[in-house]
Structure 1
Amino acid sequence: MYCVTVLYPNEPGGHFDFAYYRDSHIPMMLDLLGDNVLSTEVRRGIQAVDGSSAPYLCLLNTHIRSAEQFAQVMTEHREKVLGDIVNYTNLQPIIQIDEML
């Protein structure tokens, strides 16, 4: 099993539309990824441990069966997926695929 982690840094001037992300972008992604998805979780950053601003505005974890299938879908639908980002944020996402141990 693998986990796709997407982080949106909390940068000055950054904005994030959680309603659009939750109600439009995530369902589109789930539809594209199909039965490769085991679970998904969207989190809103609140604060750092020391009480300062959260380092990330939004965090997404999606557990998947196949990293190769994920990469294939992202390659095939790259323009659609990346083109939708402007609809919910002006931040550049950090994306990482992890192997669950």
Structure 2
Amino acid sequence: MYCVTVLYPNAADGHFDFDYYRNVHIPHMLELLGDNVQGMELRRGLQAVDGAPAVFHCLLNTHVRSAEDFQRVMADHADWVLADIPKYTNLQPIIQIDQVL
């Protein structure tokens, strides 16, 4: 199993429309990814332990069976994915694929 982590860093000039991301972007991505998805966890950053602003606005972990299938879907639908990002944020996401041990 693999985990695709998407992080949206908090920045002074950044904005993030969590409702759009949760209600429009993610459901469409789940439809594209199909049964490759085994589970998903969406988190909204609230604050650091010391009370400072959260380091990330949003953290998404998507567990998939196949990293290759995930990458293929992303490549096949890159135009839509890239066009949709400005609808909810001006931040550059950090994306990482991990093997779950």
Taking structure 1 as the reference length, the TM-score comes to: 0.98
Structure 2 unaligned regions, length at least 5: none
Identical pairs, percent: 68
What's the counterpart of residue 76 of structure 1?
76
Could you list the runs of 4 or more consecutive aligned residues of structure 1 that deviate by over 4 angstroms after TM superposition? Answer: none
**2:7 alignment partner, SS class:** strand
Question: Residues 58-83 of structure 1: CA distance to partner in whole angstroms, max 9, x if unpaired?
Answer: 00000000000000001110111111
Q: Normalized against structure 2, the TM-score is what?
A: 0.98
Q: Does 1:40 align with 2:40?
A: yes
Q: Which residue of 2 aligns with 1:3?
A: 3
How far apart are the structure 1 equivalents of 2:80 and 2:41? 21
- Alignment: residue pair count: 101
RMSD: 0.6
3-state SS in 2 of match to 1:25: helix
CA distance in 1: counterparts of 2:65 and 2:27, whole angstroms: 18
**1:16 aligned residue:** 16
